[in-house]
Amino acid sequence: MGADGIVLVTGGSRGIGAATATLLAEQGRRVVIADIAPEPLAGTPAILWPAPFDVADETAVASGIAGIEAAHGPITGLVNSAGVFGKMHPVERVRMDQWDREVNIDLRGTFLVARGVGVRMAARRHGAIVNVASVAGMTSGPIHAYTAAKAGVIQITQTLAAEWGRTGVRVNAVSPGFTRTAALEAGIASGALNKRLLESPTALNRMVEPIEVAQAIAWLLSPMSSGVTGINLPVDAGFIAGSTWAAYGGLPEASGA
């Protein structure tokens, strides 16, 4: 990323987006956060775009990107972290208005922002994009719209990486596992999620911290990953690696010293 550019973080007022914006700002990057419900990040120099930023609205995305670049300079890094998580339902109870909302925000929104920023990056022949997908898009679960949308995010990441690779623009994705955000903690507190069941399938026997996802994103944006494009990097505490071990009696416990 050029020193004169900015990093735009969508969904930057909370969760993984907030952790990423905070880390990048601490690393000396000029960070602008945009959110549907914009709130500043206390104690960080990240710049808040004050207008609500609706990633699913094509007109709003185009005008928002143009306004952000006019006010703060060219976007040389993009973190697409705006998203919503759906309710767990058997397939026959999935309401199509809920399906449309999740797919519109998680998949359509990711594409619209990536396209709006990426076309500008390609014209300048420089930039890096990181889309936040999910291990849900690599596995299965009773969150039907969310899994489909996040699988789509992984696919469009590969396609856009190929589309813009010759211009020098890199496009990658991260797929967090169960991440200890405020929203997930609220789900545990309400009884909708079971902490032990979230942790026990993982090789590391724990959930992921938001800062761990942020660190992976920061690496993918940085020159340290200059030869990397089109990948999907799971940051899941070994959820994918460990989730099938129940069929073989479970993951081995750590042996004593």
Q: Which structural domains are found in the chain, ordered by start?
A: 6-239 (3.40.50.720)
Active site residues: 146
Residue 223 has pLDDT above 90, yes or no: yes
Distance CA 53, CA 36 (A): 5
Could you tell me the CA-to-CA distances from 71 to 38, 110, 126, 143, 232 in Å, in that order? 17, 22, 20, 39, 32
The pLDDT tens digits of the residues spanning 62-89 come to 999 999 999 999 999 999 999 998 778 8
- pLDDT single digits (tens) 1-46: 344 699 999 999 999 999 999 999 999 999 999 999 999 999 999 9
Reading the block at residue 243, the tokens are 């989730």
Residue 54: per-residue pLDDT: 98
pLDDT for the residue 2: 43
- pLDDT tens digit sequence for 50-66: 999 999 999 999 999 99
